[in-house]
Amino acid sequence: MEKKKRIVLTYGTFDLLHEGHAKLLKRAKGLGDFLIVGVTTPEYDRYRGKLNVVQSLEERKAAVAQLGYADMIIEEAVDGQKVHDIQKFGADVITFGSDWRGKFDYLKKYCEVVYLERTKGISSSSLRNSGNRIISMGIAGNGRIAHRLAAEAYAVSGLEITSVFGRNEEHCREFAKKYELSSWKTNYDDFLEPLDAVYIALPHHLHVDFTQHALERGKHVLCEKPMTLHREDVNMLYDIATKNNCVLMEAFKTLWTPSFQRVISMVREGEIGTVHSVDAAFTKLVTDRTDRVYDPNQAGGAFTELASYPLLAISRILGEDVKSVEFHSFMQDGVDIYTRANMRYEHAIASATVGIGVKREGDMVIAGTKGYIYVPAPWWKIDCFELRREDVRQNQRYVTPFEGDGLRYELAEFVRTIKGGYSVCNPQTDSTFIAEIIEQFRSRDTIKDMFD
């Protein structure tokens, strides 16, 4: 009797096929006698939030076939297909990269599940498509936002997070291990040397120096907000970026989400008439008083921490020509725990409300002469909004995706811009506006009421 073949299943997008893909498929083939490779369809990639996929389905399937490890290539098109394929093909083993460890354990009731160690540091791969090279990116910082970005980066094709920088050796080592990075560094120059780009996720007061140093080394920079606390620093950094042919972006994740882009388009197309008011709020309760947001020496406080979000929306909708600004704040121990900024334009008014010690509804209202747009909380993670009219029967609700933590959208735009793609906005304009308003707030010259 002929021995039954041991059938192995694996899946992936396999965009810009590289050394890591090849090694993974080789090890998968070694687990059995017959390897079936599922390549994701464009529709399924969009459904699961995979961004920036460069190659067509047929190109990706052909590249997998050319490696010679796959005995059969199928298409993965829908959720739940893996269970169906295991049963259809009688698979004995299903494999995934180690970065998915634990996620697919539910399949153990159907067959053996194996997580294969991924290849670290693939940026110099000879299998890389030279016209669509993979961007090698490092993360400067290992705090909360750095963890969220590292977890989101898998969803962006053409990008590889390879290294982390920090001042604490143990924290860096743990971060690199968790996200399977090829290296970690406590020396910034050593960290920058092999990279194409860096994500700055350090405390606010360090952003300018670390961004400037990276740009002067010829590295593209995605910097957390606020990128600077002074208007002149924004212009200085962009001048350096231009001189060194580098992309510089502030990390406005909301700006590049599908729903926010749709809101801006509808406003500019006159769907709600002339806009006369924008009101946006973002508050979160930070109960740990040792957190850096309560440290005035690290530019702490609600306004520096959170105002970039509502100010971004105001900038996009009303522009930068503010006639006057008033700030009203509650202060504790040298930082604001709740602030409302009231801005007057020639034909409009706006308010930005933020808090780290006071909680309120985090919604946004854009008011016009024909109706208004309402975005429910948390509006900065916008996946739906309503266009509301005087006649409620004409109200419309719009829903578009907001995948993961949303950081993949800014990463995808960053990668597209590095590769010569068109950016949806001039980020320097937004960064300059936000830095100017924050600088005014920190100067205290225009604050009307401070309640200690």
Query: Is residue 415 one of the residues assigned to a domain?
Result: no
Query: Is residue 397 one of the residues assigned to a domain?
Result: yes
CA nearest to 250, candidates 283, 211, 219: 211
CATH number of the domain to which 110 belongs: 3.40.50.620
For residues 180 and 275, membership in a common domain is answered with no
Domain of residue 337, residue span: 254-402+421-451
**How does strand 349-355 pair with strand 364-368?**
unpaired
For residues 239 and 265, membership in a common domain is answered with no
pLDDT at 424: 45
Q: What are the residue ranges of helices labelled H in 16-124?
A: 19-29, 42-47, 57-67, 81-89
For residues 302 and 349, membership in a common domain is answered with yes
pLDDT at 127: 36
What are the tokens at 96? Answer: 């995934």
- The contacts of residue 305 (CB under 8 Å, 6+ apart) are 204, 293, 354, 356
For residues 431 and 331, membership in a common domain is answered with yes
Query: Is residue 72 one of the residues assigned to a domain?
Result: yes
Calculate the CA 35 to chain-centre distance. Answer: 34
Q: Using alpha carbons only, give the angle 19, 22, 23 rounded to the nearest 5 degrees.
A: 85
Q: What is the DSSP string of 301-348?
A: SHHHHHTHHHHHHHHHHH-S--SEEEEEEEEETTEEEEEEEEEE-SS-
CA nearest to 31, candidates 127, 111, 122: 111
CATH number of the domain to which 242 belongs: 3.40.50.720
* Residue 337 contacts residue 357 (beta carbons within 8 Å): yes
Cα distance between residue 203 and residue 410, in whole Å: 19
**How does strand 396-399 pair with strand 447-451?**
unpaired
For residues 301 and 441, membership in a common domain is answered with yes
* Residue 412 contacts residue 256 (beta carbons within 8 Å): yes
Last residue of a domain, one of 212, 232, 250: 250
For residues 312 and 440, membership in a common domain is answered with yes
CA nearest to 172, candidates 195, 204, 150: 150
Query: Is residue 122 one of the residues assigned to a domain?
Result: no
Last residue of a domain, one of 92, 116, 140: 116
Query: Is residue 414 one of the residues assigned to a domain?
Result: no
Q: Mean pLDDT by 10-residue block, N- to C-terminus, for the chain (452 residues)?
A: 82 87 92 95 86 88 92 92 93 91 92 86 43 85 95 91 96 94 96 97 95 97 96 96 94 92 93 97 96 92 96 96 95 94 97 97 98 97 96 93 90 89 65 96 67 58
Query: Is residue 343 one of the residues assigned to a domain?
Result: yes
pLDDT at 37: 95
For residues 209 and 351, membership in a common domain is answered with no
Q: What is the dihedral of CA 137, 140, 144, 145, to 10 degrees?
A: -50
- The contacts of residue 9 (CB under 8 Å, 6+ apart) are 36, 38, 82, 85, 86, 89, 91, 93, 94, 95, 111
116: helix, strand or coil: strand
Alpha-carbon dihedral sign for residues 90, 92, 97, 98: positive
* Residue 337 contacts residue 451 (beta carbons within 8 Å): no
For residues 388 and 337, membership in a common domain is answered with yes
For residues 264 and 207, membership in a common domain is answered with no
CATH number of the domain to which 262 belongs: 3.30.360.10
**Which residues does residue 349 pair with via DSSP β-bridges, in sequence order?**
277, 344
How big is the chain by its Cα radius of gyration, in Å? 24
Cα distance between residue 409 and residue 52, in whole Å: 10
What are the tokens at 392? Answer: 């409620």
pLDDT at 452: 57
> What is the number of other CB atoms lying within 10 angstroms of the CB of residue 67?
16
Last residue of a domain, one of 70, 93, 116: 116
pLDDT at 2: 58
Amino acid, res. 94: I
* Residue 340 contacts residue 334 (beta carbons within 8 Å): no
What are the tokens at 335? Answer: 């930082």
Query: Is residue 205 one of the residues assigned to a domain?
Result: yes
Q: How many domains does the chain have?
A: 3
- The contacts of residue 393 (CB under 8 Å, 6+ apart) are none
Q: What is the DSSP string of 167-232?
A: S-HHHHHHHHHHTT-SEEESSHHHHHTT-SEEEE-S-GGGHHHHHHHHHHTT-EEEEPSSS-SSHH
CA nearest to 219, candidates 134, 124, 135, 132: 135
For residues 246 and 278, membership in a common domain is answered with no
Backbone angles phi, psi at 93, to 5 degrees: -140, 145
Query: Is residue 215 one of the residues assigned to a domain?
Result: yes
Q: Using alpha carbons only, give the angle 237, 241, 245 rounded to the nearest 5 degrees.
A: 175
pLDDT at 4: 79
For residues 88 and 183, membership in a common domain is answered with no
Place of tokens 């396999």: 14
For residues 347 and 391, membership in a common domain is answered with yes
